[in-house]
Amino acid sequence: MRAVIQRVTQAECRVDDQVTGVIEQGLLVLLGIEDADTLEDLDWLAQKIAAIRIFSDEQGLMNKALADIDGNILLISQFTLFAATKKGNRPGFTRAAKPDKAIPMYEQMIKKLSTLLQKDIQTGIFGADMKISLLNDGPVTITIDTKNKE
């Protein structure tokens, strides 16, 4: 699994001009799922996302996590995080999980994050043409890949 985590002061997802998810201060998380991903990867990544300390404390240092600021998550599925770009100019997506695997894993990530944070997780719609707007705070953008845990 790969996640691109952006610290935001606001973020919104629209599908067909309808809002599917919206947050104020928190994290916009773009999540890519590949065939090799396991529930162990999902649990590890969910823990990382919930606990990552990228919000400023009183001294301006990144020492606070989502729970410390009562922040929220907008979770967006994004298979393009597994784009292969070495050959040619058109990306390939063969490493990205097919919907029959990716949808249950995405839904499990929503549940896991909701349990860890004790709040609802805002989302897009899997496989839809989504329009994401955000105000990146900092900017702070972190990438995490479960295949690079060390």
Catalytic positions are 80
Helix (H) or strand (E) run with residue 6 in it: strand 2-15
CB neighbours of 9 closer than 8 A, spacing ≥ 6? 24, 25, 135, 137
As a whole number of angstroms, the distance between CA 88 and CA 25 comes to: 39
Closest CA to 141 of 1, 42, 3, 34: 3
